[in-house]
Structure 1
Amino acid sequence: MHKKRFSIIGMMMLVFILFPVHALAVDYSISEVTIDAQVNADGTVEVRENHTYEFEDDFNGITREIVPKEGTSIQNFTGFENDSELEVERDGDLYQIFRGGDDETITIELRYEILDAVEKFEDGAEFYWPFFDDRNESEYEDMTISVSPPALSEETDFVGYDEAYKTGTVQNDGTVLFEMGLVPEGTNGDIRVVFDADLFPALTQQDGTIREELAGEKDRLDNEAIAFAARQDTGSSIGNGLIPAAGALLLAMTAWAWNRARKTKQQAKPADGAFFVPKQKMSIPATLYFTKSSILTPAVTAAALMELVRKKRIEQLSEEKFRLIDRKTEFDHEAALIELLFDKAGDGEFFETKDLENYTKNELNHASYNESITAWQQDVAAEVKQHELYGRHPLLRWTVGFIGLALFASAVFFGIMDLLPLMFFSMLLGICFVAFCFYSPTTYDGHVIRAEWKQLRAAMENLDEAEWNRLTQDEKMRAFAYVLGADEKSKNHSTQSFTNAYSESAFADFGVFYNPVLLTGIFVAANSSTTASASGTGSVSSGGGVGGGGGGSGAF
């Protein structure tokens, strides 16, 4: 019973690790928020908030985080819908208001009191509060906050920070109305309101004044806004020149690279003429890796086996039986294949196709088989790399990389300056320039290799027997091995037809029993068996609002 319980708990933990909380979150938007804060003569503030949520699926309720600033507290938190009280649960500073439903728009009213929220000075009483801060994970599409005095306040003053800056107006009774409109998630918006001091006779008066400090804050924010606007104009001027210039440079470099690659490819194209098998510049597996695909299929493994027969490192005794003649190989990948087939699957000297089947049927051998195949593939890739068939252009790479990083830095600057279109295009161009760092065009020799073997494949589809008979035995073996490995679907229709037509004349003197379907099939089965086996296998935050206060909204 205990084991079953621990298994269930483990599965639940795995689900939460693999699927982030956001993926399981309720889909909603908050279209409107109105907050009415009534400041009382005793220094308490009665708050009524109306949150309009638009849900697009099932939901259980909404959340409201209210983190009181230092020296204050929240009391009597309740939730209502159409004057009907809702169930509320509190977890620290987070309140859950339960109201389930499915794909609907609801308006929830929240009521609570803030204790000790007003400070009285010689020239006024201040309510300084963050109704939300950078911990908020929800966007408010339209937010309005009103702060009302206990009675008529003739000398009301105020200031708003961040999202509340320049959004407030004083009403006839001294109420301050902050019409913020759209408030993005993760932003601050502290408000600061000063009423007449004589409206709060019960509060203890502190030494000093507050209105002069408030005037200083207004001047500071205005000066910062002016300086920001000036920097924004400068950034806009720079960006309007930088982005088009960078875009033009990128287009010019792309056109240059494309034209150069096109010319190199045209120059490497072989002249039309008699059918021929290309000279041996790389092994057949490496040639297939380079000319066809870096994903080496079982057909390529079969071709690699036939290459060892051609090189007389292995003797083929029958369609299904091979004998190891010489372990001395030209390439590391040939040694890796011999080790897998003769040492692991075979008896060290002989290898039969059934040996590989029996070897891979045992699940204990799957890891060893996969390791050997991976090592073989890596050695094939290493051979291709040694031939340097892709251009490097280090100076070009360093140059475009530096330009890309400079554009990323510019994107950060434009983001800080709130120049979002310039930030987007700067980031986009930066990504393109950094991507250009990986520009490695195929060299002339590489194009020659690809063109020659492509011509071979095309010619062998309708090959005249007379032309085929003019080839040497070695050329015939290389041609067959290449076409065998190039069969992407591993059905070997082309190589089977060649075998039926030409195998007797091609391999009679070579001691080869050529059956492409059988050869490829044993590696397809081995890969399938081993692949199936292999496939089976909280933080503390600090608020950004005044006095450590703030909060936000959500749903569950």
Structure 2
Amino acid sequence: MYKKKRLAVLITLFLFTLFPLQALAVEYAISEVLIEAQVNADGTVDVTENHTYVFEDDFNGISREIIPKDGTAIQKFTGEENGKKLKVEREGNVYKIFRSGDDETVTIQLRYEIQNAVEKFEDGAEFYWPFFDDRNDSDYEQMVITVLPPAPTQQVEFVGYGEAYETGQLKEKGEVRFTMGKVPSGANGDVRVVFDAELFPTLSEQNGSIKMEIADEKERLEDEALVFATRQNTGRSIGTSLLPAVAALLLAMTAWAWNRTRKTKQQAKPKTDEFLVPQQKMSIPATLYFTQSSILTPAVTAAALMELVRKKNVEQLSEDQFRLINRKTEFDHESVLIELLFDKVGDDEFFKTQDLKNYTDNELNHAAYNDSITQWQQEVAAEVKQHNLYGKPLLLRWTVGFIGLALMGSAVFFGVMNLLLLMATALVLSILFVAFCFYSPLVYEGHVIREEWKHLRLAMENLDNSKWRALTSDEKMRAYAYVLGTDEKSTNEKTKRFTQAYSDTAFANFGIFYNPVLLTGLFIAANTSTSASASASGSISGGGVGGGGGGSGAF
């Protein structure tokens, strides 16, 4: 018990080591961020930020990443709440402000100083700063940035980029307020403000005009916005007319495929209601794999052993003992099953049901047993695949694949154009068209196989004894093996009736003493034991202007 607990602790610690962020994730939202940047005459900027967090669980604090522009530096960083100082730790450009709690709303005030934040030119002094950038992992529900001059003035030029574009307003005394509203994670939003050069008498002056550059930037951004709006309108027009047509095409193709399958299935149904055992087109395990489920149950394993008896590869000596008489098999999966039962579990010639229990009770044998069962299942699947029972309409696949890729490209275009509804529609349609590339309709012969064995299974539920006796012993063996493989429990009325049929003299040539309840239950127990054992052992660049930027988080 102690070892198991210690193992669980080690596994937990290992997972926390591999995925620390996911393991320690905190549920939160940032409802409001108010930033005030007081530009000083000496070129420094005093920043005050108020971050309102809405936590939905336990938390230890918030984090703020501030990546300074080239040539600048962040100093005097502090955090407080309602005037109370909070503990702050710095890790590179990330500041962690400690304030623990549980499921509450808090407002944390951050203060810091940006050194060398202002550049002075002949006709003005510029503060150009990215308070957040594309490295930010958090959404801001409401973002407001206010930039204040060193002294009252009306000679102010400003421009915003990204999320800050066309959000700025000139207020009294020369302050500029950028009211951005909601800012999604991964977005940029640089702010750029130019004040009178006379307000910064001690700063060194650089050559050149900054106001002309600001005017050119405004013109450039307006031109880009106009081009964007034109493209957006064009994209909206194309999308609203093209996507419904594409959706109609997909609907028509789906209806065509469904109708085609329905007709083929109808044609494949047996022409007579007479009880017949279908001709052997695939082995019984492969037939069960194809007609019932690709998950081969222990009942199918029991049916496969019965098939080996029918084919006289194996002789049944008693209810619980079998003897191998011929290793030459028709299918590879039959050889795999013989190797498992007679070579690994048995003694090369004889296999007893008790041997299987003893073998699987030993945990050292679980891996070998599971490997053999997996190989057997793979070989059964390989037999089915060889019959090419699914069609491959290459022209249709290439066509829908091309349409799907084109729609994926259009989804990207709509996303860039901020046409989110059209983007989502195009993306869904793209996925559906690409999925259609895997359309593999069942061929006529495949429908025939399924319908014939379905007819057999339903007929045997109310089988007339005279019809059963009219079958050859080989047909009885194949029919019973199939029904056995479809019936995991082997305890209902139809299985009992079929079991009684083994007393019929028609089975004398097979020497059968078959007990489906015993054998199927034995394989179920073996699979359960080994499966439990297997389960227990399984196993940048970016930024805003000047390389600066940052974001917010919590821990």
User: Normalising by structure 2, what TM-score?
Assistant: 0.95
Alignment partner, residue 247 of structure 1: 247
Q: Which deviates more, 105-114 or 478-487? A: 105-114
Alignment partner, residue 92 of structure 1: 92
CA distance in 2 between counterparts of 1:175 and 1:517 reads 87
Q: Which deviates more, 450-459 or 186-195? A: 450-459
Alignment partner, residue 208 of structure 1: 208
Q: Which deviates more, 21-30 or 318-327? A: 21-30
Letter in 2 for 1:107: T
CA distance in 2 between counterparts of 1:316 and 1:501 reads 16
Query: Structure 1 residue 19: deviation in Å?
Result: 4.6
Query: Structure 1 residue 493: deviation in Å?
Result: 5.0
Query: Structure 1 residue 23: deviation in Å?
Result: 4.9
Query: Structure 1 residue 12: deviation in Å?
Result: 5.5
Letter in 2 for 1:486: T
Alignment partner, residue 178 of structure 1: 178
Letter in 1 for 2:546: G
Mapping 1:492-531, distance limit 5 Å: 494-500=494-500, 503-531=503-531
- Partner secondary structure for residue 179 of structure 2: strand
Per-residue Cα deviation, 1:50-100 (whole angstroms, up to 9, x for no partner): 111111111121111111111111121111222222222222221111222
Alignment partner, residue 49 of structure 1: 49
Cα gap change, 1:107/1:530 in structure 2, threshold over 3 Å: closer, same or farther? same
Q: Which deviates more, 253-262 or 319-328? A: 319-328
CA distance in 2 between counterparts of 1:435 and 1:542 reads 35
CA distance in 2 between counterparts of 1:410 and 1:476 reads 59
Contact 2:35 2:50 in 1 (8 A): yes
- Partner secondary structure for residue 317 of structure 1: strand
Q: Does 1:219 align with 2:195?
A: no
Letter in 1 for 2:82: N
Query: Structure 1 residue 530: deviation in Å?
Result: 1.7
Query: Structure 1 residue 305: deviation in Å?
Result: 0.8
Q: Does 1:544 align with 2:543?
A: yes
Alignment partner, residue 167 of structure 1: 167
Cα gap change, 1:18/1:481 in structure 2, threshold over 3 Å: closer, same or farther? farther
Alignment partner, residue 462 of structure 2: 462
Contact 1:507 1:513 in 2 (8 A): no
Mapping 1:404-443, distance limit 5 Å: 404-443=404-443
CA distance in 2 between counterparts of 1:52 and 1:312 reads 79
Mapping 1:56-455, distance limit 5 Å: 56-455=56-455
CA distance in 2 between counterparts of 1:126 and 1:451 reads 80
- Write out the 4+ residue segments of structure 1 that deviate beyond 3 Å after TM superposition: 6-13, 17-20, 488-493, 501-506
Query: Structure 1 residue 394: deviation in Å?
Result: 1.4
CA distance in 2 between counterparts of 1:181 and 1:120 reads 31
Query: Structure 1 residue 273: deviation in Å?
Result: 2.6
CA distance in 2 between counterparts of 1:10 and 1:304 reads 43
- Partner secondary structure for residue 526 of structure 1: helix
- Partner secondary structure for residue 281 of structure 1: coil
Cα gap change, 1:27/1:433 in structure 2, threshold over 3 Å: closer, same or farther? same
Contact 1:298 1:490 in 2 (8 A): no
Contact 1:496 1:517 in 2 (8 A): no
Contact 1:484 1:492 in 2 (8 A): no
Per-residue Cα deviation, 1:121-142 (whole angstroms, up to 9, x for no partner): 1101111111111111111111
- Partner secondary structure for residue 527 of structure 1: helix
CA distance in 2 between counterparts of 1:233 and 1:198 reads 45
Contact 2:401 2:433 in 1 (8 A): yes
Letter in 2 for 1:104: E
Contact 1:264 1:447 in 2 (8 A): yes
CA distance in 2 between counterparts of 1:502 and 1:460 reads 15
CA distance in 1 between counterparts of 2:204 and 2:266 reads 90
- Partner secondary structure for residue 85 of structure 1: strand
Gapped runs of 5+ residues in structure 1? Answer: none
Letter in 1 for 2:219: D
CA distance in 2 between counterparts of 1:84 and 1:444 reads 79
Cα gap change, 1:285/1:238 in structure 2, threshold over 3 Å: closer, same or farther? same
Contact 2:270 2:452 in 1 (8 A): yes
Per-residue Cα deviation, 1:124-183 (whole angstroms, up to 9, x for no partner): 111111111111111111111111111122310011111111000111311111111111
CA distance in 1 between counterparts of 2:232 and 2:22 reads 34
Letter in 2 for 1:53: Y
* Equivalent residue pairs, number: 550
Cα gap change, 1:245/1:18 in structure 2, threshold over 3 Å: closer, same or farther? farther
Q: Which deviates more, 159-168 or 148-157? A: 148-157
CA distance in 1 between counterparts of 2:11 and 2:138 reads 30
CA distance in 1 between counterparts of 2:179 and 2:79 reads 24
Alignment partner, residue 553 of structure 1: 552
Contact 1:496 1:515 in 2 (8 A): no
Cα gap change, 1:35/1:14 in structure 2, threshold over 3 Å: closer, same or farther? same
Cα gap change, 1:10/1:23 in structure 2, threshold over 3 Å: closer, same or farther? closer
Letter in 1 for 2:383: E
CA distance in 1 between counterparts of 2:518 and 2:169 reads 86
Per-residue Cα deviation, 1:453-490 (whole angstroms, up to 9, x for no partner): 11111111121111111111111111111111110345
CA distance in 1 between counterparts of 2:490 and 2:115 reads 78
Alignment partner, residue 28 of structure 1: 28
Contact 2:488 2:520 in 1 (8 A): no
Q: Which deviates more, 20-29 or 60-69? A: 20-29
- Partner secondary structure for residue 508 of structure 1: helix
Query: Structure 1 residue 196: deviation in Å?
Result: 0.6
CA distance in 1 between counterparts of 2:254 and 2:18 reads 40
Contact 2:160 2:168 in 1 (8 A): yes
Q: Which deviates more, 425-434 or 386-395? A: 386-395
Contact 2:543 2:550 in 1 (8 A): no
Contact 1:492 1:516 in 2 (8 A): no
CA distance in 2 between counterparts of 1:387 and 1:442 reads 12
Q: Percent of aligned positions with the same letter in both sequences?
A: 71
- Partner secondary structure for residue 47 of structure 1: strand
**RMSD over aligned Cα atoms:** 2.0
Q: Which deviates more, 487-496 or 506-515? A: 487-496
Letter in 1 for 2:430: G
CA distance in 2 between counterparts of 1:7 and 1:113 reads 49
Query: Structure 1 residue 517: deviation in Å?
Result: 1.0
- Partner secondary structure for residue 246 of structure 2: helix
User: Normalising by structure 1, what TM-score?
Assistant: 0.95
Gapped runs of 5+ residues in structure 2? Answer: none
CA distance in 2 between counterparts of 1:389 and 1:503 reads 37
CA distance in 1 between counterparts of 2:380 and 2:28 reads 53
Query: Structure 1 residue 241: deviation in Å?
Result: 2.4
- Partner secondary structure for residue 206 of structure 1: coil
CA distance in 1 between counterparts of 2:295 and 2:12 reads 37
Q: Which deviates more, 317-326 or 507-516? A: 507-516
Per-residue Cα deviation, 1:430-456 (whole angstroms, up to 9, x for no partner): 110111111112221111111111111
CA distance in 1 between counterparts of 2:414 and 2:135 reads 24
Query: Structure 1 residue 360: deviation in Å?
Result: 2.1
CA distance in 2 between counterparts of 1:274 and 1:490 reads 26
- Partner secondary structure for residue 504 of structure 2: helix
